[in-house]
Amino acid sequence: MEIIVATNNQGKLLEMQQGIYDSNISLVSYQKYSQIAEKPQEAGQTYFENAYLKAKFYQAKLKQPVLADDGGLELVAFPEILGLKTQRFFKSSDPLDQNQEILALFQNTKTSKKVTLKATLVYLMDESNYLTSEASLVGEIVPPKGTMGYGFDSIIKIPALNKTLAEMTDFERAHYSPRIQALKKILLKIKGD
């Protein structure tokens, strides 16, 4: 079974494919079918709305079912600046720079470093026929540690393991990743299990 994913981020696609441990399912970028230059408008008020808008955009272009995700970092100490606006908050598109921008928020402050990483997925067959799932992970922001994963993985520590996501094996990281957990849930719905 092939599932078209509304992303051209190869790191995200690889993480998703490895995280499901199912060789019968192939996750491919929409770029396999079309080099769409436009980007969807993510003007929703919730992660679900943004994922739905993204899925709707690519589904309408490709005339095939599409899986889209949205999510963000929610910082207890700074609830107004990230969340739905996570990607728009950053000055740089480089993940290492983005991590430094987050760490800079906590310089010279003793505020809570608690963070919730959220993911919402929408699988859209047509405009009124869709499946959705969501998951979240609570951790804390720490200085970068570890070399695995991508994105924010090196600065999000899971207190129960005393490790950042970037210090975990692929198997461990898949167990904690909200995107992977939401993906596993939605795949069960897609397959009708």
Query: Along the 193 residues of the chain, how does pLDDT read in single tens digits?
Result: 999 999 988 878 888 888 888 888 999 999 998 887 788 877 888 999 999 999 999 999 999 999 999 998 899 998 888 877 776 778 888 888 989 999 998 888 888 999 999 999 999 998 789 999 999 999 999 999 998 877 889 999 999 899 999 999 888 888 898 999 999 999 999 988 5
Structure tokens at 15: 């993480």
Q: Which of 22, 69, 70, 126 is catalytic?
A: 70
Domains of the chain (ranges; CATH) run 2-191 (3.90.950.10)
- SS3 state of residue 114: strand
Residue 75: strand pairing partners: 115
Structure tokens at 100: 């430094």
Structure tokens at 112: 């809570």
Which stretches of the chain are DSSP H helices? Answer: 10-20, 47-62, 86-89, 95-105, 170-176, 178-191
Q: How far apart are CA 24 and CA 51, in angstroms?
A: 25
Structure tokens at 136: 């979240």
70 is catalytic: yes
Number of other CB atoms surrounding residue 162 within 10 Å: 8
